[in-house]
């Protein structure tokens, strides 16, 4: 396996690029996952109802996902990818510490949405660069490895919040503490951009073609304009399945609100539970990424099953069962955040990967927002009715998945240029 794509290629190997990007993501995950671990109880302490918590956290995920449709198209332009990545990370690094100095519910809601906007700005560009670096390694393994490094930060960040909350008795000091890893991530990101200004050079070159008139030559790749290559049918089917699973998927904001509002756990323990869920997320990401490179999209059959189990356990009146539900929620997130991203890279034409990430995440982001409104409303009436409703939705998603019988992603038309 070549470690450098060409003599003029980036000074870092593809693996080292993924590792450094993973460290940056781990630091930034300390910031936003630390905040995410207490968003529900924090908004509740400011006076938010269960419905508002579900709507704001669902809207935050929708902002992070739907707006990638816009920023994904921008990420199709290689010269903009680093600018988008830096802007998005910077917005998150600024928004979270500001939560520590606000006591107004509406300002806190806006900052939650602003942090998620940062995710929307950076993610298509970041994922496109990781897809390029992961070509030679196997995209399933590359995204899974990156996700595992992410989860180191996602584990440490909530623990920092938990310690700060237990020592101070308020959320503010913990949010302010998260400014430190945010600043460190930005410094590393600027340095990585300087070392690797063009990650597209990591793409594996086309094979040499023997020429009867001389030595082997390399056929130039056929390049389609980003607007010319259509998304294959399998991409749209995959997006429909994923959207249906997200329509019936609760946010952690509502799960954590339930833990505190019902007295199942004290506020300081909620981030600890979230940290353990992120560790489960990392293990699930590695396992599903490894399986994806071997059996393709079939690995996602487990996703509706996991999602259906979450409301039965997570919204129960038993602390052990509720914690088990959160851990299963973490496992489902691991599958989503690694394998789903790798599949999009395989199913989309190479020249439209940024747009594909935007379209795909917009579809299931809107579904997640609609589902969050439904989930919050039903939760306030009856957690049992909520569990039954979400189980029916996930059963429908599973039926769609089985009926489609998706083939291995690597064999899709996208590999041939779409």
pLDDT digits (tens, 9 = 90+) for 366-414: 998 999 999 999 999 999 999 999 999 999 999 888 876 555 544 433 3
For residues 292 and 281, give the distance between their C-alpha atoms in angstroms, rounded to a whole number: 16
Helices (H), 169-221: 172-177, 179-195
Q: Which residue has the tokens 């079939």?
A: 298
Give yes or no for residue 6 having a pLDDT over 70. Answer: no
Q: Report which of residues 205 and 300 the model is more confident about.
A: 300
pLDDT of amino acid 210: 52
Least confident of 46-55, 94-103, 222-231, 244-253: 222-231
Give yes or no for residue 356 having a pLDDT over 70. Answer: yes
For residues 110 and 100, give the distance between their C-alpha atoms in angstroms, rounded to a whole number: 13
Tell me the pTM.
0.76
The CATH code belonging to domain 14-198+231-412 is 1.20.1250.20
Contacting residues for 107 by C-beta, under 8 A, at least 6 apart: none
For residues 285 and 335, give the distance between their C-alpha atoms in angstroms, rounded to a whole number: 5
Q: State the pairing for strand pair 208-211/214-218.
A: antiparallel
Q: Which residue has the tokens 């496109």?
A: 128
For residues 353 and 223, give the distance between their C-alpha atoms in angstroms, rounded to a whole number: 13
Give yes or no for residue 202 having a pLDDT over 80. Answer: no
Give yes or no for residue 212 having a pLDDT over 90. Answer: no
* pLDDT tens string 36-74: 999 999 999 999 999 999 999 999 988 988 887 788 788
The β-bridge partners of 208 are 218
Query: What ranges do the domains of the chain cover?
Result: 14-198+231-412
Place 76 in a pLDDT band, splitting at 50, 70 and 90. Answer: confident
Give yes or no for residue 416 having a pLDDT over 70. Answer: no
Angstrom distances, CA of residue 260 to CA of 103, 104, 119, 257, 393 = 19, 20, 27, 5, 27
Give yes or no for residue 3 having a pLDDT over 50. Answer: no
């Amino acid at each position: 396996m070549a470690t450098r794509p060409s003599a003029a290629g980036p000074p870092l190997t593809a693996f080292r690029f993924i590792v450094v990007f993973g460290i940056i993501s781990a630091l930034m995950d300390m910031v936003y996952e630390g905040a995410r671990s207490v968003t529900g109880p924090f908004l509740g302490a400011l006076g938010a109802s269960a419905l508002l918590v579900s709507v704001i956290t669902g809207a935050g995920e929708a902002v992070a996902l739907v707006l990638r449709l816009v920023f994904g198209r921008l990420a199709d332009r290689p010269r903009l990818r680093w600018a988008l990545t830096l802007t998005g990370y910077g917005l998150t690094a600024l928004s979270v510490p500001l939560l520590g100095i606000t006591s107004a519910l509406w300002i806190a809601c806006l900052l939650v949405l602003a942090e998620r906007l940062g995710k929307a700005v950076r993610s298509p560009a970041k994922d496109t660069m990781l897809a390029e670096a992961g070509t030679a390694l196997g995209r399933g393994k590359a995204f899974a490895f990156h996700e595992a490094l992410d989860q180191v930060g996602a584990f440490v960040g909530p623990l920092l919040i938990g310690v700060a909350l237990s020592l101070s008795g308020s959320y503010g000091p913990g949010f302010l503490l998260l400014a430190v890893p945010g600043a460190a991530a930005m410094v590393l990101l600027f340095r990585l951009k300087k070392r690797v200004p063009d990650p597209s050079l990591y793409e594996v070159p086309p094979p040499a073609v023997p020429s009867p008139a001389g030595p082997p030559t390399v056929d130039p790749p056929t390049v389609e304009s980003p607007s010319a290559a259509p998304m294959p049918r399998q991409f749209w089917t995959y997006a429909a399945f994923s959207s249906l699973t997200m329509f019936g998927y609760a946010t952690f904001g509502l799960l954590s609100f339930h833990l505190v509002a019902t007295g199942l756990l004290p506020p300081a323990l909620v981030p600890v539970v979230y940290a353990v869920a992120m560790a489960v997320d990392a293990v699930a990401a590695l396992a599903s990424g490894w399986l994806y490179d071997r059996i393709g999209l079939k690995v996602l059959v487990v996703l509706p099953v996991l999602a259906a189990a979450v409301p039965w356990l997570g919204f129960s009146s038993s602390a052990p069962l509720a914690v088990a539900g959160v851990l299963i929620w973490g496992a489902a997130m691991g599958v989503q955040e690694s394998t789903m991203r790798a599949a999009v890279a395989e199913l989309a034409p190479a020249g439209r990967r940024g747009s594909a990430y935007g379209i795909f995440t917009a579809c299931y982001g809107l579904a997640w927002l609609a589902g969050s409104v439904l989930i919050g409303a039903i939760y306030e009436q009856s957690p049992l009715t909520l569990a039954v409703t979400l189980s029916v939705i996930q059963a429908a998603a599973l039926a769609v998945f089985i009926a489609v019988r998706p083939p291995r992603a690597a064999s899709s038309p996208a590999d041939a240029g779409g």
